Amino acid sequence: MIETLLHFPVQGQRVTGTLCLPQGAPAPVVLMVHGFTGSRDEMPVAGTGEGVFSRSARRLAQQGLASLRIDCRGSGTSQGDFADTTYEGQIADALAALAVLAADPRVQGQRVALLGWSQGGLVAACVAARSKQLLATALWAAVADPVETFGGILGADTLAAGLKTGDRALQITLEDKTIALKQGYFDGVMTLKPTQEIRHYTGPLFVAHGGQDTAVLPHAADHYLAAHQGKQQAWITQMDHSFNATQSPTMLDSLLDATAAFFKLNGLA
């Protein structure tokens, strides 16, 4: 396995990603999109020294699949201010990453799948609908109703205040951090409908969700599965929003293996 940094421009700003290549010839590739306030390696997995996405990339490489995990603009080491984050901006980042993969000789850029976790799943649903490049898409604990999810995470009063901020950033205190967001983010919460978007994607869809998820409620999976018209697989079990990764890697590894098997059955073998 070889990992290398990859940089590309989106709307005048630099996006950074980690390209993970397996042994052997150029391989099919998976694009991974992180969640709200996340970054390309994602949260630590207990007892491993790895993040959810960095571990997933390594295990995909062991199965012969390349991957690109990106920091959306304003997150991680990509350029931009997190306060300027919007759903449409992250969708643009992911679409640009697909274009980069299509032109990169180190991967088989015409044999590509997409994986998004949480808010990244919302982004992935929209990218799947708007791109003609994907052979398969996986949604891990994906946000289906932004108002419901972020009303719960941020609070209804914060959503209401965010819709009145204009270009002024609203300071928000979460459990372990303070973030700032401008009105563009909150406008997206109110207007973007990812389950309506997924209706326009007819390719294979893998939907994973946990019965113990309190951040994105489990019925989100039902909404995606009902809206999607095409081949699909549901992977529903008793796990939390982070696949029990704060306890051990066992559930994450099972989920990743099931996702990789789905991708291979749908053109990435």
pLDDT tens digits along 213-247: 999 999 999 999 999 999 999 999 999 999 999 99
Does 241 fall in a domain?
yes
pLDDT tens digits along 13-62: 999 999 999 998 899 999 999 999 999 999 999 999 999 999 999 999 99
Residues 59-77: what's their mean pLDDT?
A: 98
Q: How far is the CA of 265 from the CAs of 2, 20, 243, 258, in angstroms?
A: 25, 21, 23, 11
Q: Give the separation between CA 249 and CA 254, rounded to whole angstroms.
A: 9
The pLDDT value recorded for residue 166 is: 86
Specify the DSSP element, H or E, that contains 114.
Answer: strand 107-117
- Indicate the residue type of 94: A
Q: Give the separation between CA 54 and CA 150, rounded to whole angstroms.
A: 26
Residue 190 in this model has a pLDDT that exceeds 90: yes
Does 154 fall in a domain?
no
Does 182 fall in a domain?
no
Q: Give the separation between CA 153 and CA 51, rounded to whole angstroms.
A: 22
pLDDT tens digits along 242-267: 999 999 999 999 999 999 999 999 99
The pLDDT value recorded for residue 207 is: 98
Does 173 fall in a domain?
no
3-state secondary structure labels for all residues of 35-80: CCCCCCCCCEECCCCEEHHHHHHHHHHHCCCEEEEEECCCCCCCCC
Does 46 fall in a domain?
yes
Q: State residue 61 phi and psi, 5-degree precision.
A: -60, -35
Q: Residue 201 belongs to a domain with what CATH number?
A: 3.40.50.1820
Q: Give the separation between CA 1 and CA 17, rounded to whole angstroms.
A: 16
Q: Give the separation between CA 193 and CA 72, rounded to whole angstroms.
A: 20
Q: What range defines the domain where residue 239 resides?
A: 2-147+193-268
The pLDDT value recorded for residue 126 is: 98
Structure tokens at 9: 């421009």
The pLDDT value recorded for residue 25 is: 80
pLDDT tens digits along 73-86: 999 999 999 999 99
Torsion of CA 259, 35, 205, 189, to 10 degrees: 170
pLDDT tens digits along 135-181: 999 999 999 999 999 999 999 999 999 999 988 999 999 988 899 99
Does 114 fall in a domain?
yes
Q: Which letter does DSSP use for residue 147 in this model?
A: H
Query: In the chain, how many domains are there?
Result: 1
Does 253 fall in a domain?
yes
Burial zone of 161 (CB within 10 Å; 0-12 exposed, 13-18 middle, 19+ buried)? middle
Helix (H, G, I), strand (E, B) or coil at 27: strand
Does 152 fall in a domain?
no
How far does CA 49 lie from the centroid of its chain? 21
Task: Name 183's Cβ contacts closer than 8 Å, sequence gap at least 6.
Answer: 162, 163, 164, 165, 166, 167
Q: Give the separation between CA 137 and CA 262, rounded to whole angstroms.
A: 9
The pLDDT value recorded for residue 167 is: 86
The pLDDT value recorded for residue 105 is: 97
